[in-house]
Every structure is written in structure tokens, then in C-alpha cells.
Amino acid sequence: MHEANIASERKVIVFQLNGNEYSISVDHVTAIEKMQHITRVPKLPVYIKGVINLRGVIIPIIDLKRRFGLGDFENTDSTRIIIVSYQDLEVGFIVDAANDVLDIPEHVIEPQPDVVGTVAAEFINGVAKLEKRLLILLNLEYVLDKANQRELHNEY
């Protein structure tokens, strides 16, 4: 019976953007880092801030606020870079804060609505209602769409 419970939950990292809570499966998160110097790279989309050197690995950094059309990030003490590994790509997402790991029961996850705030539905994999919290589950395939995956690979 215990195994059935585990299978019916999704473990996620919760992070904040403009006061809303989003989540990414822990399967894709390799690290959460404090904000650090980002080296700019010319001719990239405006939401790709540049690259960092993380323990000898060059990682492109995406400003998720800019990617979602929510404005630019403001660097505060709680700003974090979530390092995400998806398919054969490793990138960092700048977020306002990242401080929670949760197990979300599958039965509380609903399909994405057409729009959540100002984030387009294509970026959203679903929405989970947990007590008084509303978590937006990111769809990494669309956040890191195919054209941009090529750009990220070719530049680094």
C-alpha cells in the first residue's frame, strides 16, 4: 500500500515569481544556487541573460520573468538560480525565491487553464491546489522550446 502512495505523488521544487508559486519536478533540478555574476552573450533572446561558470560547467541562464512576459527580475537576497537538466540541456532559471520541496498528490493536479495570471497556457503543465496554495506546474518542453534549445546548444 505504501508504494501506491508514492506512485500517486509528484515531488517538486517550489519557487516564486511575482508572488505566485510555480514548481518543477525534482527529477529535473540538479542544484539551487544563490545569484552570481552572469556573463552577457550577444545576439541571444532578451530572456536569456547570459552564462555562468558553475564548478567548471558553462550554463546558460534564463530570466523566467522575462520568458513569461512578467517583467525583469530584481536581484534580492532571496533570488536564486535553479539549475535544470532537461533532455540533453542544462540551464539555469532565475527565480525570486526557491525554498520548498513538496510531494503533490496526483489527484489534486488539474489540467492547465487557458491563462494563469499572465503566463500563457503553453508554459503550464497543470495546476495543483494544496490547502490555501495554488501551485503552477511548469511544462519544461515549452519553457525550453525546440528553437531555443538549438540556440542554447550552439552558443555554448
Q: Tens digit of pLDDT for each residue in 17-65?
A: 999 999 999 999 999 999 999 999 998 888 999 999 999 999 999 999 9
Mean pLDDT, range 144-155, rounded to an integer? 56
Predicted TM-score (pTM) of this structure: 0.83
pLDDT tens digits for 88-146? 889 999 999 998 899 999 888 888 665 545 556 677 888 888 888 888 888 888 888 74
Break the chain into its structural domains and give their ranges. 2-155
2-155 CATH fold: OB fold (Dihydrolipoamide Acetyltransferase, E2P) (2.40.50)
d(CA 144, CA 146): 7
Cβ atoms of 130 and 104 within 8 Å: the answer is yes
CA of 72: how far to CAs of 64, 96, 99, 108, in Å?
8, 11, 21, 31
CA distance 93 to 32: 9
Residue with cell 500563457: 120
The C-alpha cell at 53 is 561558470
